[in-house]
Amino acid sequence: MPNLKSIKTKISSIKNTRQITKAMKMVAGSKLKRNQAAMNDFKTYASAYDDIIRNVCKNTVLYSHPFFKKNSDKSGAAAGIVIVSTDRGLCGSFNMNLFKLFFEELKAKGLDAGNVRLYILGKKGFDFFKKNNYDIAWGKFYSESKSMVSLSEELSAVILNDFAEGKIGDVHIISNNYISTLHQKAFFDKVLPFDSYDGGENINSGGYLVEPAGYEDEIIDKVFKNYIQTKIYFKIVESFAGEQASRMNAMDNATRNAGKLINKLTVAYNKARQAAVTLEILDIINGVNAIK
């Protein structure tokens, strides 16, 4: 027969856990609104920058720029992969989806740990890949940085330097795309080298004029570098929003499951108590019969 005291203790413990998960859900919901607003505010700018880069890249004169050159044929050039994870857990499969996609892409490209150079944002990603003995060229926690802007500046500078030196042949970002509050999907996005439009004459790149004349190379170089930083920054902002949405959903599910378990244990407790009362009544009746 189940012990009434142990069942009661379990119910009390689960009720306390439910209060915690409910509070965490409310906190995540509050943070989600703030991060969602930041993501939406910056999304327009990031999308406009994507369009500009696509137009500029259609100009074949620019194909001599280093960002169009592939380093994959160089000896010692590894695949550079940026992974945007989180510092904290309790956000469902948010991080595991990133790791799963990473291994899927490695298998598809025929790479192994020796051919990959990782740049990791977030403690969860850093701990995971360090445990699995991967080459982590750069890793930072969000808690260690003053702001997301400075973090994106530092990471983009490291990536561009490694790409220029031929340490990495290409650059991809693995992060969670924010689709909706209920849906975040891990995505493998190419950053470098830029895609060129082979063949044909110089294509009009959208009517952009560079003044003063003679500084085109410097300005294009700065535009390209700022674009890399902008892309990384948006991925961080988007990941923050997705993390809070995933955590809110995970805590909501945990709260619901705790409620179901409490109901189940309450039924078990009532049955056990009823059985105990019945046994006591039987003992009394047997005692009375014995006296007679």
- SS3 assignment, position 49: helix
Give me Rg for the CA atoms of the chain: 28
Q: Of the spans 63-77, 113-127, 271-285, which averages the highest pLDDT? A: 113-127
Q: How far apart are CA 268 and CA 165, in angstroms?
A: 67
Higher pLDDT, 76 or 121: 121
| Of the ranges 40-54, 98-112, 239-253, the best mean pLDDT one | 239-253
Residue 263 counted as domain residue: no
Distance CA 212, CA 209 (A): 9
In a domain, 12, yes or no: no
Q: What is the pLDDT of residue 60?
A: 58
Give the pair of three-digit tokens for residue 208: 């952009």
**Residue 123, token pair as written in the block:** 């403690």
258 in a structural domain = no
The pLDDT of 193-201, averaged and rounded, is 61
Taking the C-alpha atoms of residue 28 and residue 92, their distance in angstroms, rounded to an integer, is 13
More confident residue, 285 or 161: 161
- Whole-model pTM: value is 0.83
- What CA–CA distance (Å, rounded) separates 244 from 240? 6
Nearest in space to 113 (alpha carbons), one of 100, 85, 132: 132
Residue 133 belongs to a domain: yes
Question: CA separation (Å) from 21 to 13, 31, 250?
Answer: 13, 15, 9
Q: Tell whether 178 is covered by a domain.
A: yes
Q: Cα(first)–Cα(last) distance of the chain, in Å?
A: 30
The residues that bridge with 118 in the sheet, in sequence order, are 81, 136
What gap in Å lies between CA 24 and CA 247, rounded to an integer?
A: 8
User: From residue 72, how far is each of 75, 102, 170 by CA, in Å?
Assistant: 8, 19, 7
Higher pLDDT, 208 or 67: 67
Domain count for the chain, please give it.
1
For residues 30-39, average pLDDT: 90
| Region of poorest pLDDT, from 153-157, 177-181, 197-201, 211-215 | 197-201
Whether residue 199 has pLDDT greater than 50: no
Q: Give me the CATH number covering residue 190.
A: 3.40.1380.10
In a domain, 73, yes or no: yes
Residue 78 lies in a domain: yes
Is residue 76 domain-resident? yes
Domain hosting residue 55, numbered range: 47-237
Residue 192: what are its φ and ψ, rounded to 5°?
-135, 150
The C-alpha atoms of residue 230 and residue 45 are separated, in whole angstroms, by: 9
What confidence tens digit (pLDDT) does each residue in 87-112 have?
A: 998 888 899 999 999 999 888 888 77
Residues counted in the chain = 292
Q: By the 8 A CB rule, do 211 and 120 touch?
A: no
User: Could you tell me where the beta strands, DSSP code E, fall in 100-215?
Assistant: 116-121, 136-140, 168-180, 183-192
